[in-house]
Amino acid sequence: DAGVIQSPRHEVTEMGQEVTLRCKPISGHDYLFWYRQTMMRGLELLIYFNNNVPIDDSGMPEDRFSAKMPNASFSTLKIQPSEPRDSAVYFCASSLHSNSYNEQFFGPGTRLTVL
Amino acid sequence: AQSVTQLGSHVSVSEGALVLLRCNYSSSVPPYLFWYVQYPNQGLQLLLKYTSAATLVKGINGFEAEFKKSETSFHLTKPSAHMSDAAEYFCAVSGKDNFNKFYFGSGTKLNVKP
């Protein structure tokens, strides 16, 4: 399996521009998670989906952030308009439901820099 | 609610020395606990997990962790550090009430000196 795939790996944009981050989960996984990692706040869960439906978006910082999962093999995280404080590494992770713990598999991340 | 505290944002050891990375959890229900490792410019990889089977859990690359309920701890150890162990390590907890939601600690960067 190719693992969780994220694109782009690096994104540099200017303040006010729209940014779209993409994620392809591991085939067959039914949970998808978006995390943000910064030096100041560490690793934060932004939102997660189950069977393409958003379950918990309480970590989404504000209305400028939105996430979609149109099908089981694709998800996007959009920031519009972007601000310098959004600069971070964004990770996507996926897992397969079981009756006990769910190991999360992480993608390589997208490093976003907003100038 | 669940939370994790990792003591020490940076730990430095000599090659061949014992590695001890500390993790304490707070959970209202018996937890599932995880250690992940992140190498530079990469995503997180699972090292090991505690799921209420054995309290001493062995993971990859010679790491192990012991679940101690009385101390609410899940410290990560390795008897002999290798240069390739230099990375950032994250402890995470999820609860049986919602085992899909992980709460990560702030991470500990391990430096291994030659």
DSSP letters of B11-78? EEEETTS-EEE--EEE-SSPEEEEEEEE-TTS-EEEEEEE-SS-SEEE-GGG-EEEEEGGGTEEEEEE
In the predicted structure, residue B56 carries a pLDDT above the cut 90: yes
Choice among A95-104, B14-23, B64-73 with the minimum mean pLDDT: A95-104
Grade residue A1 by pLDDT with cuts at 50, 70 and 90: low
Quick one: pLDDT at residue B59? 93
Contact B75, B65 (CB under 8 A): yes
Do A100 and B106 count as a contact with CB atoms less than 8 A apart?
no
Do B44 and A56 count as a contact with CB atoms less than 8 A apart?
no
Give the tens place of pLDDT for each residue, B68-111.
988 999 999 999 999 999 999 999 988 666 777 888 999 999 99
A7 to chain B, minimum CA–CA distance in Å? 13
Give me B74's structure tokens: 């899940």
Cα–Cα–Cα angle for B76, B82, A1, rounded to 5 degrees: 75
- Whether the CB of A108 is below 8 Å from some CB of chain B: the reply is yes
Quick one: pLDDT at residue B96? 62
Do B42 and A109 count as a contact with CB atoms less than 8 A apart?
yes
A and B: number of Cβ contacts within 8 A: 51
B8 to chain A, minimum CA–CA distance in Å? 14
Give the tens place of pLDDT for each residue, A51-79.
999 999 999 988 999 999 999 999 999 99
Do B100 and A31 count as a contact with CB atoms less than 8 A apart?
yes
Q: Alpha-carbon distance A87 to A76, whole Å?
A: 17
Quick one: pLDDT at residue B27? 72
Beta pairing partners, B64: B58, B77
Give me B6's structure tokens: 């990792």
Cα–Cα–Cα angle for A111, B82, A42, rounded to 5 degrees: 30
Q: Alpha-carbon distance A61 to A86, whole Å?
A: 10
- What do you get for the CA distance between the two ends of chain B, in Å? 41
Grade residue B47 by pLDDT with cuts at 50, 70 and 90: very high
- Whether the CB of A57 is below 8 Å from some CB of chain B: the reply is no
Quick one: pLDDT at residue B1? 67
Contact A82, A61 (CB under 8 A): no
B41 to chain A, minimum CA–CA distance in Å? 7
